[in-house]
Structure 1
Amino acid sequence: MIAGEPSGDLLASRIIAGLRQGAGGDLRCAGIGGPRMQGEGFETWHDMHALTVFGYVDALKRLPSLLSTYGNVKRRWLAEKPQVFVGIDAPDFNLRLEAQLRPAGIPTVHFVGPSIWAWRYERIKKIREAVSHMLVLFPFEEEIYRKEGVPVTYVGHPLADTIPMKPDRAAARASLGLDASARVLALLPGSRRSEIDILAPRFLQAAQQLLARDPGLQCVVPMVNAQRRAEFEAILARYPVPGLRCVSAQEGDSSMPVAWRVMEASDAVLVASGTATLEAALFKRPMVISYYLSPWMRRIMSWKSGQERPYLPWVGLPNVLARDFVVPELLQDDATPDKLAEAIWTALTDDAHAQRVEQRFTDMHDTLRRDTPALAAKAILEAAR
């Protein structure tokens, strides 16, 4: 098994638990993983941070160590063949490895299909050659892979089984010490420094405009770690927002990630495009999705993908799943403080809009909620046999 980041570590740990139950306890899992996988008895050859890179520049710097890790696990598995290999996300690394293992007679299962429906559909050829069985998070992906002749199982999204169907806004506010009667806006400008550098000034200037309309508005920003907090607070000093709260993992209820607790406490969310948009949707919150790529990064993405923009008209996962602009997307030149403030003010104050969004997201939550560990384990055990 290989998982290369915290989200993959969480997914894999639950799959290991499902495998152990399906295999009757007689199970050995080894490879690259994190602490949650180790908690399920996983044998770690390399820590998952060996694969964690942020952007193209970091990837180039880390290339020697990445190649060393790749060569090590490939040699070990070709020398002592496992009954099945499971790659969790990390497509650049795992698909390359799977293309080497499968011809050697090792069944390969890949969990979390690359977003070929948005970028670089031609990757399906490599997937067809490398992957024995694909496990996908979203129902529309099943049709894509089946049409292309790739064995596939829709297993649902584990977040849908973890985030409560009915969020408790009052309890979340109490745990964070927030005013129960105030409007609360969650700001999530991303988890990478490059995202914070570009999006935080825009988000903070929008918040300044919103406070002029509602001086009682409470703005809350969850912080993934101390480094990101320091970077964000340096920007906050340039664009001060009275009363804004930065919340770290140590504050509030530790039973769920701090970003989840902040979303649950909020009336609306201003969020960078990414997995956090799906989390906000599962908490049934109206949101505004935003993102901005520098001209340099846009050129790199265009060169790598061979396309100027995604195939779909939507970028945010909630809209992709709904096949509709359920919530606004303000991207690139539209990601201005004025436009962000106007859109989020509607999300905060339009009750009819909030109710429509809540119903659409409730239906989405129900569609995504499956017994993911059991379904994934069943497909993996069948491949192993």
Structure 2
Amino acid sequence: MSTNEQRRFALVAGEASGDLLAGLLLDGLEARWPALQTVGIGGPRMLAHGFQSWWPQEKLAVRGYIEVLRHYAEIAGIRRQLKARLLRERPELFIGVDAPDFNLDLEAGLRREGIKTVHFVCPSIWAWRPERINKIRAAADHVLCIFPFEPELLEKQGVAASYVGHPVANVIPMTPDRAAARAALGLDPEAQVVALLPGSRRSEIRYLAARFFAAAALMQKAKPKLQFIAPILPGLRDEVEGLLQAAGMAGQVTLLHGQSHAALAACDVTLIASGTATLEAALFKRPMVIAYNMNGLSWRLMQRKQLQPWVGLPNILCREFVVPELLQEAASPEALASATLEWLDAPVKVQALQQRFSALHVQLQRDTPTLCADAIQKVLEG
């Protein structure tokens, strides 16, 4: 089949970070196959490519064992309906973008019925839940890996894989323009700015945002001239404004309409939820304090399966605690405020961290859209 003939792929990206990855993936796929049609479940970046989303992406943006259980019936129902529709319409390829709890089972079912499958972003079997390798082996014809050490790990377990680089490493400039970002956001070019990123999921806002805003109040008391910004998804704004009011910070935190990259470019330091955004913060060369808090039972279950001492991606990739991690009970407003303020008074430490993050950035930069398209073309031809 020539690149000009029409192909039809299905994709599922279950949350904001997956939508970002899938949007970049679609750049490469559409360059290779200009007449490509894509369907499934996705967010705004995918929709901008003409992607047809059969359900709102927010339906899948749930994290933690207990939170997933609360929404299990609805999510399982979506997966059953999606699988049935895909088996009727039979796209040439299914690409699961991250969201392994949803996508791997779906991929396995489609693969058994003869639909080729690719999984984009290797589940972090090197960090926790190593037993997932068996599910990956059954689910994916090929895995597109965003970290350089992953393909060898997978191939030893009989899973075909390619390192494609981390797409975000090519989006974020090696030297971010802090002054331009501040001008765009209307921030004082000379002020010290703290970016608060409590997460993109409603469950993260529920468990983390109040702690972040209470920490901001303590930081403001210690340094009254600090400026605070917080990128928030539009659907969460009312909830966030209520939490700011409760923390006595109403009007003291500039809420941004998304714009997490602008916030990271503009800030001096970020207080940030563990997840993909921490890697983005590292690529922006920003010091950070990584925090997480979730349902207590979910936390205990996760701890039992954790294989490494680190949770944050910058620490995992650097193989040491280059930035603080304050998790669960340790993520008190007092501890969060103290650790964040410490970066503002440690310019030598910040400079050393920026050098580490610059080296990491170079390692993750690849022509990701083209490498993804190359790997996917081999799957289709294989």
The secondary structure found in structure 1 opposite 2:124 is coil
What is the rounded CA distance, in whole Å, between the counterparts of 1:69 and 1:201 in structure 2?
31
Does the 8 Å contact 1:138/1:154 carry over to 2?
Answer: yes
What is the rounded CA distance, in whole Å, between the counterparts of 1:38 and 1:239 in structure 2?
36
- Whether 2:194 is the aligned partner of 1:158: answer no
- Tell me the CA shift for residue 125 of structure 1: 0.8
Give 1:16's match in structure 2, choosing from 26, 30, 34.
26
- Tell me: CA distance 1:39–1:298, structure 2 relative to 1, closer, same or farther (3 Å): closer
What is the rounded CA distance, in whole Å, between the counterparts of 1:203 and 1:64 in structure 2?
32
Aligned to 1:245: 253
- Tell me the CA shift for residue 360 of structure 1: 0.8
| Letter of the 1:322 counterpart | C
Give 2:129's match in structure 1, choosing from 112, 120, 123.
120
- Whether 2:207 is the aligned partner of 1:209: answer no
- Tell me: CA distance 1:229–1:365, structure 2 relative to 1, closer, same or farther (3 Å): same
Aligned to 1:367: 363
Deviations 1:354-378 (A, max 9, x none): 1011111111111111111111111
- Whether 2:376 is the aligned partner of 1:380: answer yes
Give 1:144's match in structure 2, choosing from 143, 153, 177.
153
Does the 8 Å contact 1:247/1:258 carry over to 2?
Answer: no
What is the rounded CA distance, in whole Å, between the counterparts of 1:366 and 1:97 in structure 2?
34
- Tell me: CA distance 1:127–1:338, structure 2 relative to 1, closer, same or farther (3 Å): same
- Whether 2:269 is the aligned partner of 1:268: answer yes
- Tell me the CA shift for residue 285 of structure 1: 0.6
Give matches, 1:56-135, under 5 Å: 59-60=68-69, 62-79=71-88, 81-135=90-144
Does the 8 Å contact 1:19/1:381 carry over to 2?
Answer: no
Aligned to 1:317: 313
- Tell me the CA shift for residue 71 of structure 1: 3.2
- Whether 2:235 is the aligned partner of 1:235: answer no
Deviations 1:286-328 (A, max 9, x none): 11111223423324xx1xx6x5252111111111111111111
What is the rounded CA distance, in whole Å, between the counterparts of 1:204 and 1:156 in structure 2?
35
Does the 8 Å contact 1:169/1:266 carry over to 2?
Answer: yes
The normalised TM-score by structure 1 is 0.87
Aligned to 1:254: none
| Letter of the 2:313 counterpart | L
What is the rounded CA distance, in whole Å, between the counterparts of 1:157 and 1:98 in structure 2?
22
Aligned to 2:298: 297
Give 2:340's match in structure 1, choosing from 340, 344, 350.
344
What is the rounded CA distance, in whole Å, between the counterparts of 1:45 and 1:82 in structure 2?
14
- Tell me the CA shift for residue 156 of structure 1: 1.2
| Letter of the 1:233 counterpart | E
Aligned to 1:355: 351
Aligned to 2:205: 196
- Whether 2:176 is the aligned partner of 1:167: answer yes
| Letter of the 2:195 counterpart | A
What is the rounded CA distance, in whole Å, between the counterparts of 2:380 and 2:87 in structure 1?
16
- Tell me the CA shift for residue 222 of structure 1: 2.2
- Tell me the CA shift for residue 172 of structure 1: 1.3
Does 273-282 or 287-296 show the bigger shift? 287-296
Structure 1 spans left out of the alignment, 5+ residues: 250-256
RMSD (Å) for aligned C-alpha atoms = 2.5
Aligned to 2:4: none
- Tell me: CA distance 1:160–1:292, structure 2 relative to 1, closer, same or farther (3 Å): same
Deviations 1:132-164 (A, max 9, x none): 100111112222212212110011111111112
Does the 8 Å contact 1:220/1:246 carry over to 2?
Answer: yes
The secondary structure found in structure 2 opposite 1:357 is helix
What is the rounded CA distance, in whole Å, between the counterparts of 1:73 and 1:102 in structure 2?
14
Question: What is the aligned residue count?
Answer: 371
What is the rounded CA distance, in whole Å, between the counterparts of 1:150 and 1:56 in structure 2?
27
What is the rounded CA distance, in whole Å, between the counterparts of 1:127 and 1:340 in structure 2?
37
| Letter of the 2:240 counterpart | F
- Tell me: CA distance 1:312–1:54, structure 2 relative to 1, closer, same or farther (3 Å): closer
- Tell me: CA distance 1:87–1:196, structure 2 relative to 1, closer, same or farther (3 Å): closer
What is the rounded CA distance, in whole Å, between the counterparts of 1:311 and 1:149 in structure 2?
21
What is the rounded CA distance, in whole Å, between the counterparts of 1:113 and 1:190 in structure 2?
21
Does the 8 Å contact 1:218/1:243 carry over to 2?
Answer: no
- Whether 2:232 is the aligned partner of 1:223: answer yes
What is the rounded CA distance, in whole Å, between the counterparts of 1:53 and 1:43 in structure 2?
22
Structure 2 spans left out of the alignment, 5+ residues: 1-9
What is the rounded CA distance, in whole Å, between the counterparts of 2:238 and 2:143 in structure 1?
40
- Tell me the CA shift for residue 280 of structure 1: 1.1
The normalised TM-score by structure 2 is 0.88
- Tell me the CA shift for residue 281 of structure 1: 0.9
| Letter of the 1:247 counterpart | L
Does the 8 Å contact 1:2/1:33 carry over to 2?
Answer: yes
Percent identity, aligned pairs only, is 50
Does the 8 Å contact 2:241/2:250 carry over to 1?
Answer: no
Aligned to 1:2: 11
